[in-house]
A and B are shown apart, each in its own frame.
Chain A
């Protein structure tokens, strides 16, 4: 898994109410959620974001509600992957379950600026800022089971495969 994209930077404890407010949880349509993605953290986000962009978050990204609508909104808005210092646990599960790649790096947030273009190399476990002078950063390896989920195309495909 390799991604190159422009960075949108958010702080610590970005909660799922900020990612997709409850007033929009009256649908199952990913495009509808995408239209309101990050609305209460940055109302202009949806207008600014382009397909392939990357979100860089701080600690405890995706805390709060269990709403899977949050990673669905981010994925459907065109975000290719999220790199955060840490993830809240339900968001972490949900992201893998629906096939939104997420990576943990304690250091990237401190040296990256919004608008930077970064390369995230999930296979080799590195992140580099394009044009940056710093050596590539190490990212936390994806646990083997989570990698299996990703390889199978999400949880539902994983359990279907196991049943065969």
Chain B
């Protein structure tokens, strides 16, 4: 079996499973946010739900429109806050403690290798970076899991991605996943698992792995996964407060397809509007003037991302035409960035540094675009109107490209500085 099949199997009472089977599996963590949880809570109550199946395993994270952007979002947040209190949820984090969910849960050791995680947020797939099975669903699925502690799943086929070669300078996990999406398309892995393997994986730190797994949904995948190794061991050792399991694929595991990628041939990538698969190498971008740069999100708001950005922004300033917005994804990341002097570098570069929020990524608040404006963003989607007006444009890239672009006022790599 593959790693995904093994994790799924161990969460059922079956001995073996194979792609296409419909299974009922036990859930280790069920997650919701301030946009999706209100509908789930309503469904939970409508169905006669009294207590969630396990108060340690239902996690509610108000991170999208927080700090509350208006009265309506305040009402939504109150609804989940009241529910979290009433249910005495262990893992509810409010403003001041909260971070962007998919950065916060691994950091706090709430999700661990071998877990089965469902979340009413499409980027729940991020936790595959840790070697967990994690997939996004809707609010009703969350409501059902909150009651039963179980979820129905169709066992996915697996697409194996084999990385070989050495990463070029400025090439990160973000560039690898953008490159793959460009190559296979936004439905290239529809309903499938993307399993990342190969000699290059050892060169990828946990931040890069989480970034890659985060964006498998942009290829239509059900989940993305990295088999745990020494990097994983070091990452979870200090964070885990409960037992966890390392799984790996058997040598004779069956794969629906295999994609070989020589990373040494890949340059930094940029996804042009209005679809994440519209990807070009940085050398083929041309001169695209920009109005805003966002560095942050569940994709690229970790300390490693901020270090890269700070390394480029140090003793430089954002171009006058560019509004630079930097969002550390959690309070711990924010504190660490302060300690390391990164925040001072950002402020000196004329960046606005914000408290953790998903706001700008989905055009909610804290950096909405006007008609005709262009942004380079380290986020994950560049659909029409994603970050604001339907006449605005979003270019997806790594923190290195975003930081260099902010300084130059057009899309560019750090080598052009």
Contacts and interface: CB of A to CB of B under 8 A. Distances in A.
B63 interface: no
Contacts of B48: 160
B47 A40 contact: no
Contacts of B385: 17-18, 21, 40
A106 interface: no
B136 A156 contact: no
Given A26-B65, A67-B35, A156 B143 contact: yes
A59 B190 CA distance: 10
A66 B46 contact: no
Interface of A: 13, 15, 17-18, 21-23, 25-28, 40-41, 59-60, 63-69, 72, 86, 88-90, 93-94, 97-98, 145, 154-156, 159-160, 163
A66 B122 contact: yes
Nearest to B77: A26
Given A60-B220, A93-B138, 9 more contacts: A15-B381, A18-B383, A22-B64, A26-B72, A40-B384, A40-B385, A86-B190, A89-B222, A155-B140
B275 A90 contact: no
Contact of A68 (B72, B140, B187): B140
Contacts of A64: 122, 381, 383
A63 B186 contact: yes
B22 interface: yes
Interface residues of B, number: 50
A66 B98 CA distance: 21
Given A18-B383, A26-B70, A40-B390, A68 B190 contact: no
A90 B218 CA distance: 12
A93 B140 CA distance: 9
A155 B144 contact: yes
A145 B190 contact: no
Given A13-B275, A17-B386, A64-B381, A69 B144 contact: no
Contacts, number: 127
Contacts of B76: 26-28
B187 A13 contact: yes
A97 B141 contact: yes
Nearest to A23: B363
Contact of B381 (A17, A40, A41, A88): A17
B297 interface: no
A66 B43 contact: no
Contact of B35 (A25, A94, A155): A25
A163 to B, nearest CB: 8
Contact of B190 (A17, A65, A67, A88): A88
A89 B154 CA distance: 11
A66 B121 contact: yes
Contacts of B148: 159, 163
Contacts of B72: 26-27
A54 B386 CA distance: 26
A40 B43 CA distance: 28
Contacts of A67: 35-36, 138
Nearest to A60: B187
